[in-house]
Amino acid sequence: MTGFYPDIIKDICLFYPGFGCFLCCSLRCSISTGRKKNTGKVKKVILALGTGLGVGYFPFCPGTVGSLWGVVIYLLIWLVTPSLWWQFVITVFILMAGVWICGRCEKVLKNKDHRSIVIDEVGGFLVSLIGFSFSIFFLFLGFIFFRLFDIIKPFRIDRLQHLPGGWGIVADDVAAGLLANLFLRILISMAGWHL
């Protein structure tokens, strides 16, 4: 017997082997079933978060559709607290949570960067707008540039996908977001617009 079972059950097993074994097996079975139920629920929650509440299962362009969650979060940030500091903090939180969630989704789906996982796109899109004041025009351009860089993956940012676990799933999207952010800043500077 392991130390997990209460002493009374150990005593029953010693003095009444038949009944004790039945009791121990029943207890093991119920504990195992409870764990399986909890594990199943946890997997469902992780997949729901990783796929953007199922948006990642969209048949066409799931990454682009999933990035729209980033737009929703960006708008919520500016509605609740129009602060560049909070925009940064929330983006970093989503990225760190995304690394963990993507790593778990990878294990559940048994596939590296499965197309249905879109939380990495959400974080990457938010990176593309870090440091910009609220503007629907910037939002639109940031979305376009982010998706463009995420799809074509210039400067070999696709190599970042070889990082282990969730880091590899999220890193290339962060790089695409940083490129979109830089490109948008260059465009704004050339056009003489204000941040």
Q: What is the pLDDT of residues 5-48, one digit of tens each?
A: 444 444 444 444 444 444 344 334 444 445 555 678 888 999 99
Report how far residue 11's alpha carbon sits from residue 139's, in angstroms, rounded to the nearest whole number: 68
C-alpha closest to that of 175 among 75, 95, 85, 109: 95
Domain segments of the chain as ranges = 8-41, 53-191
Q: Which of 170, 88, 117, 183 is nearest to 144 (CA)?
A: 183
Sign of the Cα pseudo-torsion (31, 36, 37, 43, in order)? positive
Q: pLDDT tens-digit profile of 127-162?
A: 999 999 888 999 999 999 999 999 999 999 989 999
Angle value at C-alpha 132, between 127 and 135, nearest 5 degrees: 110
What is residue 157's predicted lDDT score, i.e. its pLDDT? 92
Note the pLDDT of residue 31. 41
